[in-house]
Structure 1
């Protein structure tokens, strides 16, 4: 089996959420942060033949990206990664040492409020986080207007970013820590849930993220 560049990109993103991962039989990959406040799922081109626990995903990615088009074989206790006549043997981890979501984990999404973000929007948000050093991302509905903002609620004079998303209805104010905003910069449909999480669904690829909101959020 060869692992596509697109799947490698997804795995690199998932490694920022959690360096642990379990590949299960099939073509769906899931990950969950150790704090259990980020859950992500992606359907990929490859079909994995068996369950494999990986403790350090970054070290595996380093092997997979040493050369283009490495051949990967899934054996009982290890991966065999071959290129140019040479073989790496990469042993699986004990699943008990790995933090990963259950195989059947899914989160139902209620469409309390929904909006779209372009790839430029997401990239601007990521730059705004770096420039302002703000701790939180807010989605706020007030006076029939919904805004997306990045700021420090404890410091009114701190640097900030704000964008009007569109008209709103019920008032709400949900926010997440910037540390959980670990999505691939692309276009998404975003849903605000009454269960206090933000759901990011990729516009063109089968990739989804569920980001837990701060308990002080109101919706």
Structure 2
């Protein structure tokens, strides 16, 4: 089996969420952060022949990088990596699944109280601004003109912040949803976002089969 560049990109993204990964039989990859506040799911073009537990995903990706176009051969307790026609082979042993963190089931949104679409450009602007002004938080709130997304420090009212007006759909009187900027571990792209007043959000990539469920911070408020 060869891994496409798109799938390697997904694996790199998942490695930023959790170094552990359990690859299930089939073509769906899932991961969950150690704090259990981020869950991600992606459908890929490859079909994996068996369940494989990887303890250090970044080490696995570094192993792949030793080859130009690695071919993977899955055995019972390990896989081999090699380039076609090459004499060099790397044997990569699977981990014990019991020591690897992975989601046991996918999340069902308890309600869909706010919906919006955020472009790739706006997401990158917010991330860059958060880095520049050293803002650890991002808040989505209802305004007189619709909604606004602001990167800020929720513990410091006089800290610098950066805001973008966004179109959103909601029947609520008011809401203020807080996220941690560090939890925005998204592959580049435009996202359709659904937020529940139960403090969970869903980010679905509009062009790729990948989505994320990201927990909101407990200070979030919602008035129907």
TM-score (structure 2 length as normaliser): 0.93
C-alpha contact 2:140 2:148 (8 A) present in aligned 1: yes
Query: For residues 144 and 121 of structure 1, what CA distance do their matches in structure 2 show?
Result: 18
1:189 corresponds to: 192
The 5 A counterparts of 1:166-205 are: 166=167, 169-170=171-172, 171-205=174-208
Query: For residues 73 and 106 of structure 1, what CA distance do their matches in structure 2 show?
Result: 32
Q: Describe the SS at the equivalent of 1:2.
A: coil
C-alpha deviation, 1:109, in angstroms: 5.7
The 5 A counterparts of 1:159-170 are: 159-166=160-167, 169-170=171-172
Q: Describe the SS at the equivalent of 1:86.
A: coil
Which range is displaced more, 188-197 or 160-169? 160-169
C-alpha contact 1:144 1:169 (8 A) present in aligned 2: no
1:111 corresponds to: 112
Q: Describe the SS at the equivalent of 2:142.
A: strand
Query: For residues 113 and 171 of structure 2, what CA distance do their matches in structure 1 show?
Result: 10
The 5 A counterparts of 1:55-70 are: 55-70=55-70
CA spacing shift, 1:109–1:199, aligned 2, 3 Å: farther
1:77 corresponds to: 77
1:3 corresponds to: 3
C-alpha deviation, 1:100, in angstroms: 0.8
C-alpha contact 2:109 2:196 (8 A) present in aligned 1: no
Query: For residues 15 and 32 of structure 1, what CA distance do their matches in structure 2 show?
Result: 10
Query: For residues 108 and 55 of structure 2, what CA distance do their matches in structure 1 show?
Result: 25
C-alpha contact 2:139 2:149 (8 A) present in aligned 1: yes
Query: For residues 51 and 107 of structure 2, what CA distance do their matches in structure 1 show?
Result: 19
The list of structure 1 runs, each at least 4 consecutive aligned residues, that deviate by more than 4 angstroms after superposition, is: none
Query: For residues 74 and 109 of structure 1, what CA distance do their matches in structure 2 show?
Result: 38
Match of residue 212, structure 1, among 208, 211, 215: 215
- Would you say how many aligned residue pairs link Structure 1 and Structure 2? 218
Query: For residues 207 and 53 of structure 2, what CA distance do their matches in structure 1 show?
Result: 29
C-alpha deviation, 1:53, in angstroms: 0.5
Query: For residues 110 and 66 of structure 1, what CA distance do their matches in structure 2 show?
Result: 46
Gaps of 5+ in 1: none
C-alpha contact 1:109 1:199 (8 A) present in aligned 2: no
Which range is displaced more, 109-118 or 42-51? 109-118
C-alpha contact 1:141 1:169 (8 A) present in aligned 2: no
Q: Note the alpha carbon deviations across 1:109-129, whole angstroms, 9 max, x for none.
A: 632111111111111121112
Which range is displaced more, 113-122 or 52-61? 113-122
Gaps of 5+ in 2: none
* RMSD over aligned Cα atoms: 1.4
